[in-house]
Amino acid sequence: MKLKILFMGTPEFSVNVLNGLIENYDVVGVVTQPDKEVGRKKEIKFSPIKEVALENNIPVFQPVNIKEEYDDLLELDVDMIVTCAYGQIIPKELLDFPKYGCINVHASLLPKLRGGAPIHKAIINNYPRTGVTIMYMVEKMDAGDIISQVETEILPSDNLESLHDRLSVLGTKLLLETIPKIVSGDINPIKQDESEVTYAWNITREEEHIDFNKSVIEIFNQIRGLSPVPGAYALLDNEVVKIYASRISESFFATLENGEIGKIYKDGIGVSCKDGEIIITEIQFAGKKRMKVSDYLNGSDGTKLIGKIFK
């Protein structure tokens, strides 16, 4: 008899995890966030997890507030609840419900980076390594006992997308290795050290804005930690310019104002900042498509940008 699992998740990160569970266990239900209206036409958009559930004929539950709307879930025949980036705090009634408990797949090395944006913040905050933690869930956010962890190095070439995809694969593998150990009792959960806790709150609009008074490495990490979603930005001629990729230059223009465009390269736009120059290599001007700066320069006179200031 296959283990009966209730899965809770919402974004793309959770898709690998859910597919792994479907292939190996009996997923009796999926809980995800309510559908959203998107665009001017307010078209209904399903979460990635709902799409997977419907493709596999799995019942879907979408409570607006799961703390008040969980009675239907208690009627399911469930051995274990698995959550992964669901987006709501699970009530105690559900946490205590299944035989083997409620476990969470979290994209950080807890107790570091509790919260909703651990992958973004691992890059933005210049962490050398991050990973995935499988933990028991408690009523406090991401604070339960750690069951297992896997680590990965954050490479200079990583951005949010590449690290997200790698952690999703690592997390799925770790979960599938961990569940049999939970069932057999071959685990030794450890409490989190509260003195080591850091938080990764959801990204705010203010955090998307690039301050060129910061250091080169801070700006470099901010850009890649927000790429492709939601994307870092700055203002040029009072227009929002999205910035998706950059590289660090060894140049330093002592006479330039921070944020000032000082040089045009074959692949990018050199911008002065606190301690050097950041070269912007992928960009989206207002009303235009996202593009490599090299492509933009092929059709435009980049020297006209020299002297302009990002704010």
Residues 6+ apart with CB under 8 A from 32: 8, 9, 10, 47, 49, 50, 53, 60, 61, 62, 86
Distance from C-alpha of 242 to C-alpha of 193, rounded to nearest angstrom: 39
Neighbours of 251 (CB within 10 A): 13
Going residue by residue through the chain, which has 311 residues, state the pLDDT in tens, using 9 for 90 and above: 799 999 999 999 999 999 999 999 999 999 999 998 887 788 899 999 999 999 999 999 999 999 999 999 999 999 999 999 999 999 999 999 999 999 999 999 999 999 999 999 999 999 999 999 999 999 999 999 999 999 999 999 999 999 999 999 999 999 999 999 999 999 999 999 999 999 999 999 999 999 999 999 999 999 999 999 999 999 999 999 999 999 999 877 778 999 999 999 999 999 999 999 999 999 999 889 999 999 999 988 888 999 999 99
Domains and their CATH numbers in the chain: 4-196 (3.40.50.170), 205-305 (3.10.25.10)
Distance from C-alpha of 213 to C-alpha of 226, rounded to nearest angstrom: 18
Sign of CA dihedral 100, 106, 112, 114: negative
Structure tokens at 220: 């470099």
User: Nearest-CA neighbor of 52 among 88, 99, 14?
Assistant: 14
Phi, psi of 75 (to 5 degrees): -90, -10
Predicted TM-score of the model (pTM): 0.95
